[in-house]
Amino acid sequence: MTNPYKSPIGGALFALSGFAIFSTHDVIVKYLGGFYAPFQIVFFSVVLSFPLVLIMLIGEKGAGTLRPVHPWWTALRTVAVAVTASCAFYAFATVPLTQVYALLFAMPLLITVLSIPILGERVGIHRWAAVVIGLNGVDIELRPGAGGLGLGHLAAITAAGSGSLAAIIVRKIGRDERNAVLLLFPMLANFVAMGALLPFVYRPMPLEHLGATAIVALLAFSGGLLIVQAYKAAEAAIVAPMQYSQILWAALFGWFLFRETADLMTWIGSAVIIASGLYIVLREAFGASVTTPVLRTKSRAETGTAPRLPSVDKLRRSGL
């Protein structure tokens, strides 16, 4: 009998469940963003995630110190993750969910481009064409000159760029660095940077909002566990495309909770971006890439507000 925990269908179901949980996480972030600055939400998300961090560190088996093997790459990645957190949280608070997701879905395009200087990847004409077409989808989505472009859209684009940079750096140094280093440094950076900004934006939080922030941390951790289980059960080529299911959750949650409706141009732009990302995934899956930068990176932008779970490479090397 086929083990459902080690099958393509099982992997797809785990991934769909994980991304549904992440979408719920983002809805709560959007709700809290109506009351608080993103710096405050990020700060308290980090603080309330530390118990989960301790649990993960207890299970850390690797020997050694927390001194990075690649300090400069680690520092750059840490800054990128902190920027991703504040920008993504601001975007969710100020822009319709479907538009934020569509812009974040440009990450595979940006990872493909960044893989050239950072990983030495050779990108052929097919993937370059997908990148160009996908970026045209971003242009359709934003409609510059039509009056719909705001700071929230720029924040989402920035989050996609910084998230892609953080992901590609993990591909470069992840084999050498301890998971504890990759986990702690971005969270500590968020704690320090957002804590420094907190006095300028702080608003008292009632108990129910603190509870919602704790749920944000728990959902991020739970969603990450399901994504890890998905990668254990199935190949990355099956798991990675499941992230695009979030656009459906965004449309549902946006309409039901925030009375947001996506117009035709938003759906067209989203379709172009998603199709381009899927094409890149398939090209990598069928041997067009040596380093497979998109398939081997997390398909969810890291924000440093919850424990970072093992990379795809570490899962493969562990035999899980």
| Distance (Å, whole) CA 16 – CA 26 | 15
| Distance (Å, whole) CA 91 – CA 161 | 14
Contacts of 127 (CB under 8 A, 6+ apart): 112, 279, 280, 283, 288, 289
Phi/psi-derived region of residue 121, left when phi > 0, alpha when psi is between -120 and 50, beta in every other case: beta
pLDDT at residue 61, rounded to an integer: 65
Residue 112 predicted with pLDDT over 50: yes
Least confident of 14-18, 93-97, 184-188: 184-188
Could you tell me where the DSSP H helices lie in 234-263?
Answer: 236-239, 246-258
Locate 36 and state its tokens: 């608080």
Banded pLDDT at 229 (limits 50, 70, 90): confident
Residue 35 predicted with pLDDT over 60: yes
In this prediction, residues 80-95 reach a mean pLDDT of 94
| pTM of the predicted structure, to 2 decimals | 0.90
Mean pLDDT for all residues in the chain = 86
Instruction: Give 45-77 as a 3 state SS string.
Output: HHHHHHHHHHHHHHCCCCCCCCCCCCHHHHHHH
| Distance (Å, whole) CA 231 – CA 316 | 9
Residue 184 predicted with pLDDT over 80: yes
Which residues of the chain form beta strands (DSSP E)?
A: none
Closest Cα partner for 74 from 165, 156, 155, 159? 165
Banded pLDDT at 1 (limits 50, 70, 90): very low
Cα angle 241, 157, 230; round to 5: 25
First-last CA distance in the chain: 20
